[in-house]
Amino acid sequence: MKHRYFAWFPILFAGLLYLASVAVKADDGAAPFSLIHEHIKNQAYNEAEQLSLLVIEKARQGETYSPGQFLQLGIWLQKAGQYRISQKVLALALEKYTRRGALEEMARTLMHLGISARNLANYEAATDYFNRALTIATMYENSAFEAQLHMQLGIAQKEQGHVETALQTLKKALTLFRDEQSLSDIGVSLATIGDIYVSIEQLSEAKDYYDDAYTMASTAGNRRLAAIVTMKQGALLLRQGHTADAIKSLKDAIHYFEHDNDKFMSTQAGVWLGEAYVKMGNTQQGLGLLQQGLRFAQSSKHYPLINLARLALANAMLAIKNFDQALQFAQEGAETAQQIHNVRSQLDFLTLQVNAYAAKGNFKQALDLQSLVQTIKEQILQTENQAIISRLQAGIEVERQAQSIQMLKQTKAIELAQAEQENLRNTLGWSLLLASLLSAFLVWSRLKQREQNIALQREVKQRTVQLENKNNELQHAYKALEQVSLRDSLTGLYNRHYLESQLPGEVKRSQFALNKQKGHPTPNQDLLCFLIDIDHFKRINDAYGHLAGDKVLVKFAQILREVFRQSDLIIRWGGEEFVVICKQSSRNELPEIAERCRIAISQHSFDVDSDEPIKVTCSIGFSVLPPDHHISFDDNWKQTFSVVDYCLYASKLSGRNGWVGVLSASTKPAQISSDMPLDRKFKFTHSHIATSFNNVASIVWPSEE
């Protein structure tokens, strides 16, 4: 016994030294959490788990870590597929939030506890966590969070094989997500419904849902969700026998997951890719991927992935005629599926066992298992059909009872008439019999007609609801597509189509204000136009690559948002050129705004993922719109923009990192006409020009050719 106690001393001592080293690195409480995060990013999961356990122990010993730190740590571990340790961390976060009475944070923690429990196949606990969180979300009327919880609960029901319940829950989530216009979450819900249709072999419906999910992910710009849906589409193609197409889709998904350092998702896609390789005859590479996937799933205790890998390995072994190995994987999978009460997964593994026994020639065992398979199939069909039948029966039960009461009254009336006229029975017997038969026929006819009307009304109602849902979906899709068509996808700024749709109205407003003042400009009624171009942008692309150029464009757009007002129209005109339209402004502010913009750009350091950030400058041309307020602007937008472009070009030729612009101009005849290149080109008799260079004489104007 003493030797056993002494054996623990080195381990405890090493743990204390490890915590001491963490304490030396930083005095603040965030240091161990940052270190754990680094371990997770480097896929050093054992180190991350050990340090997490030590932090939990320190917290229980009185270390004042916040519950938010434990919640974030639990989410990091969860995303890395480390569900067991994430449960312990999240449980401590829930305990701390409960002491504080922070209900909304408790609900969020409960949701993540449910996700970990679901991935560990502890569906009963997962359902309890989700329902507790739903109670809090409902109390706070947080519909967005309710939708998230319904979606997570639906995924858990789907993994248990509860098809109809999962569809109902996911339908609630989908409805709430549509109300919130959350495209990414709608995409996740649609993809999960697609998974359900795959599980019940309705593959064409599954494809439709996957396609819709991919569209939502692409519209929302959610590349990770798009990769997940691409993976699911690849698995569906594999199931349909399109192996080559499946391999392409799965490789595309894995490429993204590996670039994103997502070990769990790349492993899941690798399992399907391994199965595809085996089908294509590349057995060695395929089995390697499958065995690698099973090892990872077992280490993280992710039971759905364990079952997926075992099912793929069993199929692969069956394909290469290794029937004993196929039986072993199928039997292990069936046992796990039975433990977690996943009837559909159990059915898949039992079917594989039937095929393996039949291939070995053990037909008695195969027949016995086939009988069990048939029994389970009948149970599934009975469970699903009974729910549908119950709903249909409930709809016609009231009508059936009303018809029964009516028929009873008619029968009583006939009996009373027969009793009162018993002396005429013999004379009117045939007549009464005929009347009874006719009455019964009429009642039966009315009953059948009523049933047909009810069925027709139900079908019309269902079709109406379906059409309304489709119309709502089309309206949301139209709004989303309209918004996408008017925005630049890289910078998030509006594009030139938006400017063309908005500018006429602004021009009319500005000219109306000028006309109201008898053509004389008044303060804050001018419309100003700036054309801004990044200097030497091509050099940035050539030196650092197009991704670096994209980062410069995104940051440049962010600086423009800070320089200009929220009400100003900031447009990405094309390439490295940006247009800004300032509404309800004064032309006297043009030089001040241009200089503020030039300084903001030149003083900022741009990160291009190199050793050192770079400096960027810009050239600016500007003008009041229109330069000559006596001329109608409706027909002169192109000419006016040419003035601004001409000024920008002059700024470039004059040395860049500066601005040239027109404060006003006139086309009225004058005794002495200006000889400025700008006035000659645009037929102005004179103009008022401003520049950041030494003086107007120092401006190098473009050639007039």
pLDDT at 395: 33
Q: Enter the CATH code of domain 301-396.
A: 1.25.40.10
Please determine, for residue 7, whether its predicted confidence score (pLDDT) is greater than 50: no
Portions of the chain given CATH number 3.30.70.270: 496-698
- With a cut of 80, say whether residue 392 has pLDDT above it: no
pLDDT at 62 exceeding the cut of 70: yes
Whole-number pLDDT of residue 570: 94
Compute the CA torsion angle 510, 513, 516, 517 (nearest 10 deg).
Answer: -100
CATH architecture of 496-698: 2-Layer Sandwich (3.30)
Q: Tell me phi and psi for residue 490, to 5 degrees.
A: -80, -55
How many residues would you count in the chain?
Answer: 705
Question: Could you tell me the pLDDT band of residue 493, with boundaries at 50, 70 and 90?
Answer: very high
Give the per-residue pLDDT at 178. Answer: 76
Average pLDDT, the chain: 80
For 119-137, the pLDDT digits (tens) are 888 888 889 998 998 898 8
**pLDDT score, position 464:** 75
Reported as type and span, the H/E element at residue 316 is helix 303-319
Span 190-233, pLDDT tens digits: 888 888 788 777 888 888 888 988 988 898 899 988 999 999 89
Amino acid identity, position 127: T
Can you name the CATH fold of 18-141? 1.25.40
The model's pLDDT over 454-470, given as tens digits with 9 standing for 90+, comes to 887 887 788 878 878 87
pLDDT of residue 419: 63
The confidence score (pLDDT) of residue 613 equals 92
At 547 the pLDDT is 93
Residue 427 tokens, joined: 């004379």
Phi, psi of 469 (to 5 degrees): -65, -45
| pLDDT, position 671 | 63
Q: What mean pLDDT comes out for the span 250-256?
A: 90
DSSP state at residue 410: H
Q: Which pairing describes strands 659-666 and 686-691: parallel, antiparallel, or unpaired?
A: antiparallel
User: Are 218 and 226 spatial neighbours (Cβ–Cβ below 8 Å)?
Assistant: yes
- Helical H segments across 160-202, by residue range: 163-180, 183-199
pLDDT score of 122 = 85
pLDDT over threshold 80, residue 636: no
Q: Which pLDDT value is given to residue 399?
A: 31
Residues of the chain with pLDDT > 90, as a percent, come to 20
Domain with CATH 1.25.40.10 in the chain: 18-141, 301-396
Least confident range from 247-261, 299-313, 331-345, 594-608: namely: 331-345
User: DSSP label at 99?
Assistant: H
Cα of first residue to Cα of last residue in the chain, in angstroms, is: 100
Task: Indicate if the pLDDT at residue 144 is higher than 90.
Answer: no
Residue 634 has pLDDT above 60, yes or no: no
The tokens for 664 are 């006003």
For the stretch 17-44, pLDDT in tens is 444 444 434 344 567 888 888 888 888 8
The stretch 499-527 carries a mean pLDDT of: 71
